[in-house]
Structure 1
C-alpha cells in the first residue's frame, strides 16, 4: 500500500451518514473525533480489523456487506462508494466481491489492503461443477492418518511464514486480470478460492498485515495494533491446534458441502472437499451434478452432508433423502446473523469443529 499520513480531519458526520446506508459501522468512537476511518469489505475482514484495533481511540470501522446477505453479490450504494473514496484504509479481498474490486481500483488503489495477496490464495474446486468430481480417487483417502504433522506444522503446500507480512504493496491486485474479472478464466483446475479465513493460519497472516498498515497510518497507536494482532494470532494458533487434534483420527475424510467454500479448511486438516455447487454461493446445481454427488455419497458411505445456515439445506436435503445421510451445519462465516451457530468468528469455527467431528466420525 502506498502510505499517506493519517487524516486527522475525517469528519464524524460523514462516517455516521455512511453507516446509515446499508453498511454497518462496527466499531469506533462515539461522540469523539474520527481520526482514522477504515472500510472493510465483509465480516471476516471486519472481525480481524476489530481485533487489531481493539481499544485504540479515534478509529471507526465500517463494513460494506450486510449480515445475512451474500457477500459475493454485494452491490454498492452511492454512499458506500463515497465511503470507499474517503476511507483512510480499505481492507478487501480481490475476486471475492467484484463491485468492491471495481470501487477500490477506481477510488482507493493507494489506500487499500488486498487480503487475497497476503493470504496467498490457491485454486480449489471445479471450473464447471456440472462436470462432477470425476478424476478424484476419493476412496483412497478414507480412513488414513491425515496428520503426520499433528504438532501444528502446516501441511505440504502451506508455507505460512511471515514472508507475506511486508509484501502487500498491492501491485498484484490486477495481476490476474487476464484470468477474467471473476477469476474463473484460465484455470485448469478451478478458480482461486477467496475463503482464506477458514484456515486460521492464513487468517492470522492477514490480521498481521492489517496491523502493519494501521501502524503506518497511525504511528501513535502502532504498538497497540501490533500487540493486538499478536494476541489475535495466538488465539488463532490455539484454534488451529484444536482442529488439528480433533480431526487427527477420523473415519471419513470426504467432506460434502453445499458449496465449495471449505477448500482451505479441508486442505489444512486432511479432508477432501466435494461441493454440490462451486466456489461462489448461490449457483445452481445441475441435475448431472446432483446425480454424480448422490452416487459418490452412496458409494463412499458418506455419513453426513453439510449445509450452510445462511443458505438453507435444500440441496443437501435432496441428496440426504436419497442416500440416508445426515445433514449438519457447516458455516463459511461470510457474515454473522441470528441463525449463525455462534456470536463471532471464533465461536462459529468451534461450532463447525463440533459438526465436523460428528459428521466425519472422529475419535
Structure 2
C-alpha cells in the first residue's frame, strides 16, 4: 500500500503546539462559535455517524475531502493545528496513519477511536481462504499494512452493518457525555440510525440467503467483515491496495477459482482506477461492476449516503452471485 507521509513528525508537533490555525476549521475555513459542537471526522464513515447522530447540535468537518483515497491522506498544517481545539475527534485507527499520528500529537481532550467500540478481527494474509502467495523475495505481496496496536487487524468495520451499529452507539454515548444538554436528541438520533442499520442487515441476510455462488472477486480486499457476516467468500486481487498490479500467478489462481466457484464478476471501486479489474476480467472472461467500499462519497457514487450506497452494493452482489 502506498502510504505517503509528507509532513514530518517535528512539523506536525510544531503545528499543534503553536496552534497555527486556532480560528480555522480542519478544512481550512473560518470557524465561528455558534454553540454547536466542533466535531472533526477522519473520513466519510466517521463523518456520516457524526452528522446523523449529532444532527443540528454539531458542526462536522472531515479531514478527507470527497474523492481523496483515505489511505493516502496528506494532512496540512492547518488541519493538524486545529485538532487540539475540536470538541470531539472521531477517527478509526489503522486506516490513516497520518491521522493516527496527528491525533496522538494533538493531545486533544476528547478523541474517539471507532475501533475501540466493536471487535476487530485479523482477516490475515489469506483472503477468502486462499493464500495470495509471495513475490520473488519471499515476501507476502498482499498482507495488510496497518500500524499500531493490533497490527494486521482489518479496520473495514463500517462495511458490516452490525459492527457499524455498535460504533454508532458508542458515538452517541460520547456525544451525550460531551453535551449533556442535548443528550435526549443524541439518543433519539442514535436509535433511529441503529434501526436503519438493523433494517439494512435484514435486507442483506434476506437478499443473499439463496445464491448460485457464494464467492466474489474484488480489487480491494475491504469486504472481509461483510463476507463473514453473510456467509460469502471474498477473493481479493491485490489485498488492501485497490490499484496494485496482480501477479501472473494470482491471475491464474483467480481463473481457477472463478471456474470452480462459478464466479461471474470482478468488482472495482469508485475512488480507484478500474484498470486492474478490467485486466483480470479480460484474462478470466468475467464481467466488471462496482462494489463500493464507502471510503468517500462522490458524484460517481451509486447513492448520496452510506445507506443508499450499501443498498446499491447489495443489488450488485445479488446480480453477481445469482441471487434467487
**1:102 equivalent in alignment to 2:111:** no
Which residue does the alignment assign to 1:50?
51
Q: 1:122 to 1:113 in 2, by over 3 A?
A: same
SS of match in other structure, 2:260: helix
SS of match in other structure, 1:236: helix
1:14 aligns with one of 7, 23, 36 = 23
Conserved 8 A contact 1:95-1:101 = yes
SS of match in other structure, 2:301: coil
Conserved 8 A contact 2:281-2:288 = yes
In structure 2, C-alpha distance between the alignment counterparts of 1:217 and 1:330, rounded to whole Å: 36
Q: 1:283 to 1:184 in 2, by over 3 A?
A: farther
1:331 aligns with one of 284, 292, 305 = 292
**1:71 equivalent in alignment to 2:70:** yes
SS of match in other structure, 2:84: helix
In structure 2, C-alpha distance between the alignment counterparts of 1:339 and 1:206, rounded to whole Å: 27
Which residue does the alignment assign to 2:87?
88
Which residue does the alignment assign to 2:42?
41
Q: 1:356 to 1:127 in 2, by over 3 A?
A: closer
In structure 1, C-alpha distance between the alignment counterparts of 2:108 and 2:227, rounded to whole Å: 33
In structure 2, C-alpha distance between the alignment counterparts of 1:350 and 1:196, rounded to whole Å: 17
**1:182 equivalent in alignment to 2:146:** yes
Which residue does the alignment assign to 2:154?
193
Question: Gaps (5+ residues) in structure 1?
Answer: 1-11, 135-179
Conserved 8 A contact 1:98-1:181 = no
SS of match in other structure, 1:55: helix
Q: CA deviation at 1:185?
A: 10
* Deviation by residue 1:240-272 (Cα, 9 ceiling, x = unmatched): 000000000011011211010000110111101
Which residue does the alignment assign to 2:141?
none
Which residue does the alignment assign to 1:223?
184
TM-score (normalizing by structure 2): 0.83
In structure 2, C-alpha distance between the alignment counterparts of 1:242 and 1:20, rounded to whole Å: 40
Q: 1:121 to 1:274 in 2, by over 3 A?
A: same
2:279 aligns with one of 318, 331, 335 = 318
Q: 1:109 to 1:288 in 2, by over 3 A?
A: farther
SS of match in other structure, 1:19: coil
In structure 1, C-alpha distance between the alignment counterparts of 2:270 and 2:205, rounded to whole Å: 24
TM-score (normalizing by structure 1): 0.75
Which residue does the alignment assign to 1:173?
none
Superposition RMSD on alpha carbons, in Å? 2.6
